[in-house]
Amino acid sequence: MPVAVDFETIVIGGGPAGSTTAALLAMKGFKVLILERELFPRAHVGESLLPASLPIFDSLGVRAAIDNAGFIKKYGAAMVWGNNRSIWSWLFAETKGPYSHSYQVTRPEFDTILLDNAREKGVQIREQCQVLGPIFSKDDATVTGVEYINQDGNRETVRSKVVIDASGQQTLFANQFNLKDWDVAFKHLAIYGYYAGGEHLPTPDQGSILIESFENGWVWKIPLHDGTTSVGVVMDADWAQAEIKKSSVDSVFERQVLLTNEISRLISEATFKNKTHLIKDWSYVTTRMTGDGYALVGDAACFIDPLFSSGVHLALQSGVLAAAYAATVIQSPDLARSAARQYEATYRRRYGYFHELARLFYGSNKSLDSQFWRDRSLNEENWSDTSREEFINVVAGNAPEGYERVVIDQGHAPKNFIKAIEEAENSRIDRATFSQQFSNNELLLKSPTLVDDARLVKGATLGDGIYELGYLLQTSARPEGYPVIAPIALLLNLMDQKRTVRSLAEEVASTLKVDDSITEELVLVAIRNLAADGLVEL
Ligand SMILES: Cc1cc2nc3c(=O)[nH]c(=O)nc-3n(C[C@H](O)[C@H](O)[C@H](O)COP(=O)(O)OP(=O)(O)OC[C@H]3O[C@@H](n4cnc5c(N)ncnc54)[C@H](O)[C@@H]3O)c2cc1C
């Protein structure tokens, strides 16, 4: 007999990851509860956002609210890093992505917009409720709810079909299940605070984040719409702790900011507001992000150094995926484990991308000769073939045009890295031109086959807000696979290095009982794309 539940999903934490997951589930008609420790609006670090989040704001229906809040539009990033000590900048518009701006947000306001939106979409929200931990099924195998301290200070339990841990750096489940893997490469500590006033960079960088490397780490400067400027110093954790012991958090902050040339100049007339905040900025990833009845999302699953302002975006993106996972557990429990694998593989890939990029970014800044940068430096010896492979794998399929391009142009990346990324880029272009060099008539006579490394499997694929049973084309570099629609799966299954593209198209058309000419056209497009992506040999 199914156990009675109070909610279909319980979400622990109402930050960007939690409110996104919860709102999307409520929009699908599910009964959802958020338990949040604080009373919103609550303070939070992390103001600088990425343009890739804009489509998520659209699906959540919060774009207008974000625009109306008057947040400063961010068109790119400015840096003192790499080859020289002057400011250089780049704009999102240069990356050919669909969005050329993002926002610099005050987090209390931004997070409240997202949480209010979840409430409007039907999520029940209980603030000032601290979750203590999960509760389990009788055999202890499945998470079936949580225990928490309610607003009156009393312990309560609440049951659900799925629990999403979105507790941020609190990492509630990861701590309890011992899943946290600290990353020694990014053992940092940050001290930050706010100034009233502060000079902006000249147009078009007036809304950009400024990142200035200096001898003991790097400093961010973010202009905010309420007239304040957020300034934070990122340092080696052990070194900074020792400095703090000798003096105080405030004086370490003040001294390090004064070591910068550009940021200290831009805030020289500004007034420091209230107090400094000290925060552990030590990257980690969990060894498992899902289990029966639960998933970890946002910072509760992994955290990567804030160099690329990727945290909120990863929180939102993983929120979208976790909502689909939870919907699958509720509606198609037979597919839950396969959906969990997909969720985890996809989130790990996105985390991996920023992780490798950050490693490369720290490692190729040679404009400063100090202990901090020497310890993180990458050269031909420690940028091994494996690291290079990892990097190429995580950025595979993307032309280097954003931060990767910047590393190549402005940094001192190891030569073997630059060569590898150029080779990967050239082979991508070669494959694309190779598949285009055949006319349709020539291509119809080819007998394609899947490359050795690729295999077609059945598994969970992401549909409209839920995982569905479908086909995946897996490779060793992409174990989560590329989702493939049924007619293409049929085509791939028929490929045997003997059948020509023409006969493949005819067989697909007759099996699916559809028009020959339309099928032939689609098969030609599919073969060209698969060949360009290196999945099919002609
Ligand atoms: C120094 C620093 C600078 C950063 N700068 C940026 C930046 O510029 N841009 C960017 O995108 N990201 C930045 N980040 C990262 C960003 O802040 C996070 O990645 C993002 O907030 C993650 O969202 P989340 O929803 O997973 O977690 P959070 O936003 O932390 O939300 C978690 C929520 O869970 C609640 N909670 C915790 N424990 C419990 C419990 N037991 N019961 C109930 N509720 C609980 C908390 O109160 C909180 O509201 C930075 C991080 C650091 C450390």
Closest by CA to 532, choosing from 442, 427, 443, 447, is: 427
Task: Return the DSSP state at 215.
Answer: T
Query: Sorting pLDDT into bands at 50, 70 and 90, what band is 356?
Result: confident
CA of 414 to the centre of ligand 1 (A): 33
Mean pLDDT across the stretch 289-293?
96
Looking at residue 385, its pLDDT comes to 56
Q: Are residues 273 and 191 in the same domain?
A: yes
Same structural domain for residues 31 and 169? yes
Q: Which residue's alpha carbon is at the smallest distance from atom 35 of ligand 1?
A: 13
Strand partners for 103:
73
- Give the least confident one: 120-134, 142-156, 365-379: 365-379
- Owner of token pair 């007339």: 269
pLDDT tens digits along 507-538: 999 998 888 777 899 999 999 989 888 899 98
Nearest atom (ligand 1) to Cα of 280:
53
d(CA 319, CA 112): 16
Choosing from 20, 128, 158, 167 the residue with most ligand 1 atoms within 8 A of its CB, the one to mutate for a pocket test is 167
Give the count of domains, the chain.
Answer: 4
- Where does a domain end: 250, 283, 316? 283
Q: Does residue 490 lie in a domain region? A: yes
Q: Is residue 398 predicted with pLDDT exceeding 50?
A: no
What is the identity of the amino acid at 239?
A: W
| Between 93 and 381, residue with greater pLDDT | 93
341 belongs to a structural domain? no
Among the residue ranges 5-19, 91-105, 326-340, the one predicted with the least confidence is 91-105
Question: Same structural domain for residues 451 and 528?
Answer: yes
pLDDT at 190 over 70: yes
pLDDT in tens, 146-165: 999 999 999 999 999 999 99
**Boundary-marking domain end, from 373, 408, 436:** 436
CATH of the domain at 278: 3.30.9.100
In a domain, 302, yes or no: yes
Give the list of residues 6+ apart from residue 395 with CB closer than 8 angstroms, or none: 353, 356, 357, 404, 421, 424
Ligand 1 atom with minimal separation from the 19 CA: 25
Contact 122, 32 (CB under 8 A): yes
Distance CA 456, CA 493 (A): 8
Q: Is 529 in the same domain as 502? A: yes
| DSSP secondary structure letter of residue 89 | E
The mean of the pLDDT values for the chain is 90
Kindly state whether residues 146 and 29 are assigned to the same domain. Answer: yes
Strands 294-296 and 290-291: antiparallel
For the domain that residue 513 is a member of, what is the CATH number? 1.10.10
CATH number at residue 327: 3.50.50.60
Pocket test of ligand 1: the residue of 117, 150, 170 to mutate, having most ligand atoms within 8 Å of its CB, is: 170
Structural domain that includes position 491: 440-537
pTM: 0.92
User: Quick one: average pLDDT of 391-395?
Assistant: 50
pLDDT at 354 (0 to 100) = 84
Query: Does residue 207 lie within any of the structural domains?
Result: yes
Residues sharing a CB contact under 8 Å with residue 304, sequence separation 6 or more, in sequence order:
186, 283, 310, 311, 314, 351, 354, 355, 358
Which range is least confidently modeled, 33-47, 178-192, 242-256, 523-537? 523-537
Token couple for 400: 């280097």
pLDDT at 101: 92
Position 463 in a domain: yes
**What confidence score (pLDDT) does residue 29 get?**
98
Say yes or no: 18 and 155 in one domain.
yes
Give me the pLDDT at residue 379, please: 67
Ligand 1 neighbours, Cβ below 6 Å, are 12-18, 35-38, 44-49, 130-131, 166-170, 172, 190, 232, 279, 281, 298-300, 306, 309-313, 315
Q: How many Cα atoms are found within 13 Å in the side-chain-facing hemisphere of 47? A: 29
With contact defined as beta carbons under 8 Å apart, do 255 and 125 qualify?
A: no
Do 32 and 127 lie in one domain? The reply is yes
pLDDT tens-place string over residues 52-62: 899 999 999 99
Distance in Å, CA 108 to ligand 1 centroid = 11
Continuous segment of H or E residues that includes residue 62: none
Predicted local confidence at residue 393, as pLDDT: 52
**3-state secondary structure (DSSP) of residue 23:** helix
Is residue 401 over pLDDT 50?
no
Determine which residue's CA is closest to atom 6 belonging to ligand 1: 46
435 band by pLDDT with thresholds 50, 70 and 90: confident
- Bigger pLDDT: 218 or 376? 218
Asked if residue 140 belongs to a domain, the reply is yes
Q: What is the mean pLDDT of residues 83-112?
A: 87
Residue, of 407 and 246, whose pLDDT is higher: 246
Choosing from 210, 299, 317 the residue with most ligand 1 atoms within 8 A of its CB, the one to mutate for a pocket test is 299
Q: Are residues 275 and 237 in the same domain?
A: yes
Instruction: Check the CA dihedral 380-384-390-393 and report its sign.
Output: positive
Is the confidence at residue 388, as pLDDT, over 70? no
Average pLDDT over residues 230-250: 97
Q: What is the pLDDT of residues 448-505, one digit of tens each?
A: 999 999 999 999 999 999 999 999 999 888 888 889 999 899 999 999 989 999 999 9
pLDDT for 143 beyond 70:
yes
Mean pLDDT of 67-71: 97
Is 373 found in the same domain as 324? no
Whose C-alpha lies nearest to ligand 1, atom 4?
46
Q: Please report the pLDDT score of residue 397 as a whole number.
A: 42
Looking at 436, 455, 481, the residue that finishes a domain is 436
* Residue 404 in domain: yes
Per-residue pLDDT averaged across 65-76, rounded? 96
Can you tell me the distance from the alpha carbon of 354 to that of 336, in angstroms, rounded to the nearest whole number? 27
Within a domain: residue 336?
no
Looking at residue 404, its pLDDT comes to 59
What pLDDT score was predicted for residue 304?
A: 93
Calculate mean pLDDT across residues 326-353. Answer: 94
- Asked if pLDDT for residue 287 goes beyond 90, the answer is yes
Atom number of ligand 1 nearest to Cα 38 = 47
CA 111, distance to chain mean position in Å, is 17
Q: What pLDDT does residue 432 have? A: 76
CA-CA distance, 17 to 315, in Å (whole number)? Answer: 4
* Residue type for position 27: M
Q: How long a stretch of residues is the chain?
A: 538
C-alpha atoms less than 13 angstroms from C-alpha of 417 in its C-beta half-sphere = 30
pLDDT band at 123, cuts 50/70/90? very high
Same domain, 39 and 152: yes
What local confidence, expressed as pLDDT, does residue 81 receive?
84
Query: Residue 407: what pLDDT?
Result: 61
Question: Exposure string (b/e) for 310-323, b if CB count within 10 Å is 16 or more?
Answer: bbbbbbbbbbbbbb
Are 445 and 481 part of one and the same domain? Answer: yes
User: Do 20 and 168 belong to one domain?
Assistant: yes
Look at residue 64 and tell me whether its pLDDT is greater than 60: yes
DSSP 3-state assignment of 219? strand
How far, CA to CA in Å, does 288 sit from each of 333, 341, 343?
20, 10, 11
pLDDT of 172 over the 70 cut = yes
Task: Please report the DSSP string for 148-183 in residue order.
Answer: EE-TTS-EEEEEEEEEEE--GGG-HHHHHTT-EEEE
